[in-house]
Chain A
Amino acid sequence: MALFRMPSLGADMEAGTLVEWRIKTGEPVRRGQVVAVVETQKGAIEVECFEEGVVEELLVPLGQKVPVGTPLARIRGAGEEAAAAAPSPAEPAAPLAVTEPTPAAAPSARERGPQLPPASAPAPAAARAIKVTPAARRRALELGVALERVHGTGPEGAITVADVEAAARGAAAELPPGPPVAPARAREAPEKPSPRHGFDPVAMRKAIAAAMSRSKREIPHYYLESTIDLNRALAFVEARNRERPPPARLLPAVLLLKATALALRKTPELNGFWLEGGFRPGPGIHLGWAISLRGGGLVAPAIHDVDRLDLDALMAAMRDLVQRARTGGLRSSELADATFTVTNLGERGAEAVWPVIYPPQVAILGFGRIVKRPWVDEAGGLVVRPLLRVTLAGDHRASDGHLGSRLLAEIDDLLQRPEAL
């Protein structure tokens, strides 16, 4: 028997409101299936389930706001007997204190009388069987991670802090290495999301305020900037697009993301997290791509393993992501597990951006607007070229400017050889 819980989709998420079930009692569920939609301060997010089995009971009614970690549904594994109908007394659904019970629910509660859990409620079988270190147990509580679905890699197979954090960032750590998952999943996105899936601008502003304040409070930023000649890169895109119909065309941003990902392979110290006073490398190169939303606000969902995507796959992933971000169809695993963030102001933005690091990441890259400016070419001649100002903000606790400079130089080098991307 497994419990599907309110997931934590980010360090700043404490609770979520269940707005839609995509499963029904008695239906089978697969690992990775989208089973619910949860409204958060960052908007409605499709939530995946990591259990296989049959839905035995939905434990939380629609519209209820519950803390991270609260069991939302019970799932019976293949071959397991159906359990008693009542939820495990050790794991009661816990509505947030701020949520008033609905008038309709109150009388029935009175009729039933108080229902206290038995004094010595047995622990769920799964909790007894698994080994969890004390620190991992605490971390799981903080992140709202259900320990039953975490794979332990510690001594005697114990679940460690790293295991919990990997699980919190999504299923990536649990899946075998292979083809990237983001584009494939994109096909499951709903065509017409319901209007209530839109973002709450006030809550989003608060979330951005919290994350950015924390960043500026805790992270000693350093900044580096380079101007890159995009003549060859743009010519490459233009020539390629000329032969292709619109759906197969690339945007210059694809080259920028791919170059960034490849450059990060050579500077892994910038790809990861600052946690517990030390640097932890990211499990892959998952680029958070900052997408501004209509009506204000910003999300930075991750594209997984960008360094391993070819340009077409990356372009498809980007298109899909923008589409879903703007319509509120992002998935849980996409919001929590970026290892590095890129912000791209695009063709109508300012010439340069000094971005703010998204904690606990340790660096962020900002691309300004491509502008035509005088440039001295390799031969020493004065020419007009499309130039791009690229700005890196780094966490000085985790790296130094020397390393950051290497990243910028590598990106420049890659963009001069676009055919290699």
Chain B
Amino acid sequence: MSTAARTTYRECCRQAIRAALLADPRVFLMGEDVGRYGGCYAVSKGLLEEFGPERIRDTPLSESAFVGAGIGAAIAGMRPIVEIMTVNFSLLALDQILNNAATIPHMSGGQFAVPLVIRMATGGGRQLAAQHSHSLEGWYAHIPGLKILAPATLEDARYMLAPALLDPNPVIIFEHIMLYNMEGELDPSVTSVDIEKAAVRRHGRDVTLVTYGGSLWKTLEAAEALAQEGIEADVIDLRVLRPLDEATILDSVRKTRRAVIVDEGWCSGSLAAEIGMRIAEKAFFDLDAPLRRVCAREVPMPYAAHLEQAALPSSARIIATVRELLGRGG
């Protein structure tokens, strides 16, 4: 049995890409500064030296062109991994993602699949302000034809890429910027993960906390604090934002009868809204309390640390929301 080695989320992302490049000659990495610079968040550092410029392609700053090129290349037999520096920049490629990647399989009557993986950084917390800090994965989760993943753990960061590349559909992987430095031991017993199911990261009877990505750890922290007060929470890590693993959410809510959704996206029209609505549609008569959300405050992400922290979901806000839901105000 191998022993657990100390590693980081960033290293797990890198090893996942490396393993994919080794496993399949059709795989290549393409994006801004992925080669010589080593990746904006240093995920692809060292890969250029190992795999060469054909397979670790620095691109010009033309998101639409290189994302669209990834789509075309996937259609024509390759398995591209396209990196977009941050979700805010992905808007420059939204045309290609929505109008081509997500629609061509259906629009062509099933003649063309787009086996493409797009990775991008998301989320706030590093004082990067309003053009580098948003969580727009909920927008992407709105789009039929895409699969949306949000690895929150080392194991998911390490092992989600392989099934994503095997998938015949365009898969977008959102990596939260606050997780890259997260250190831990990669569970040696895990050698693969699925990209279909949510994971219940903590079990409890009193309330269901639904979250994903960077918010998972705040939510788990809140759940531990609540346990000290005798409130036991189920914590669901969605992992897959589209298609949603509705069964896991509903099973939990039917048990606990209460749900709080924690989502770093803005509240209005959010993924949290979607999850809440699904619960309302399918588990209404199991609810013993109103649904609640803890989302980012509705402002462009500010720069100053105290403002940014106030805008982001926090474990304190999660705790307060759960307390209120269980009638334990104060």
A/B touching: CB–CB < 8 A? yes
Option from B284, B285, B288 in Cβ contact (under 8 Å) with A154: B288
Interface positions, chain B 79-133, Cβ under 8 Å from A, are none
State whether the Cβ of A210 lies closer than 8 Å to any Cβ in chain B.
no
State whether the Cβ of A245 lies closer than 8 Å to any Cβ in chain B.
no
State whether the Cβ of A179 lies closer than 8 Å to any Cβ in chain B.
no
Q: In whole Å, how far is A308's beta carbon from the nearest beta carbon of chain B?
A: 22
Option from A134, A276, A278, A279 in Cβ contact (under 8 Å) with B287: A134
* CA of A162 to CA of B257, assembled, Å: 11
Option from A158, A277, A278, A279 in Cβ contact (under 8 Å) with B289: A158
State whether the Cβ of A195 lies closer than 8 Å to any Cβ in chain B.
no
B284, B289, B324, B325 — most chain A CB neighbours (10 Å): B289
* CA of A228 to CA of B285, assembled, Å: 49
Interface positions, chain B 233-259, Cβ under 8 Å from A, are 255, 257
State whether the Cβ of B327 lies closer than 8 Å to any Cβ in chain A.
yes
Task: State whether B289 touches A155 (Cβ < 8 A).
Answer: yes
* CA of A138 to CA of B283, assembled, Å: 12
Task: State whether A136 touches B288 (Cβ < 8 A).
Answer: yes
A133, A155, A277, A279 — most chain B CB neighbours (10 Å): A155
Cβ-closest chain A residue relative to B257? A135
* CA of A115 to CA of B292, assembled, Å: 45
Interface positions, chain B 278-301, Cβ under 8 Å from A, are 284-290
Task: State whether A276 touches B289 (Cβ < 8 A).
Answer: no
* CA of A276 to CA of B205, assembled, Å: 10
Residues of chain B contacted by A279 (CB below 8 angstroms): 205
Residues of chain A contacted by B290 (CB below 8 angstroms): 133, 155, 158
State whether the Cβ of A161 lies closer than 8 Å to any Cβ in chain B.
yes
- Of the A-B pairs whose beta carbons lie under 8 Å apart in the complex, a sample of 6, sorted by A's number, is A134-B288, A135-B287, A136-B288, A137-B285, A153-B327, A160-B288
Interface positions, chain B 310-330, Cβ under 8 Å from A, are 324-327
Q: In whole Å, how far is A141's beta carbon from the nearest beta carbon of chain B?
A: 10
Option from A136, A155, A161, A278 in Cβ contact (under 8 Å) with B327: A155
B205, B255, B285, B327 — most chain A CB neighbours (10 Å): B327
Residues of chain A contacted by B255 (CB below 8 angstroms): 276-278
Instruction: Give me the interface of B with A, judged by CB distance under 8 Å.
Output: 205, 255, 257, 284-290, 324-327
Known: A133-B290, A134-B285, A158-B290. 6 other contacts (CB 8 A): A134-B286, A135-B286, A154-B289, A154-B326, A158-B289, A278-B205
Task: State whether A133 touches B287 (Cβ < 8 A).
Answer: yes
Residues of chain B contacted by A154 (CB below 8 angstroms): 288-289, 326-327
Residues of chain A contacted by B288 (CB below 8 angstroms): 133-136, 154, 160-162
Q: In whole Å, how far is B229's beta carbon from the nearest beta carbon of chain A?
A: 15
* CA of A277 to CA of B205, assembled, Å: 9
Interface size on A, residues (CB 8 A): 17
Cβ-closest chain A residue relative to B280? A134
* CA of A217 to CA of B289, assembled, Å: 32
* CA of A161 to CA of B205, assembled, Å: 13
List the 5 closest pairs (A to B, CB-CB), nearest first. Answer: A278-B205, A135-B288, A133-B288, A134-B285, A160-B288
* CA of A136 to CA of B289, assembled, Å: 9
* CA of A79 to CA of B174, assembled, Å: 64
* CA of A248 to CA of B25, assembled, Å: 93
A135, A137, A162 — most chain B CB neighbours (10 Å): A135
Known contacts A276-B255, A278-B205, A278-B255; is-contact A135 B285 (Cβ 8 Å):
yes
Residues of chain B contacted by A162 (CB below 8 angstroms): 288
Residues of chain A contacted by B287 (CB below 8 angstroms): 133-135
Known contacts A154-B289, A155-B289, A160-B289; is-contact A134 B284 (Cβ 8 Å):
yes
Q: In whole Å, how far is A155's beta carbon from the nearest beta carbon of chain B?
A: 6
Residues of chain A contacted by B327 (CB below 8 angstroms): 153-155, 160
* CA of A45 to CA of B290, assembled, Å: 38
* CA of A162 to CA of B205, assembled, Å: 13
Option from B205, B285, B326 in Cβ contact (under 8 Å) with A138: B285
Residues of chain A contacted by B257 (CB below 8 angstroms): 133, 135, 161, 276
Q: In whole Å, how far is B244's beta carbon from the nearest beta carbon of chain A?
A: 22
Residues of chain A contacted by B285 (CB below 8 angstroms): 134-135, 137-138
The contact string, 1 if C-beta is below 8 Å from chain B, for chain A 4-25, is 0000000000000000000000
Task: State whether A155 touches B325 (Cβ < 8 A).
Answer: yes
Cβ-closest chain A residue relative to B292? A155
Q: In whole Å, how far is A93's beta carbon from the nearest beta carbon of chain B?
A: 26
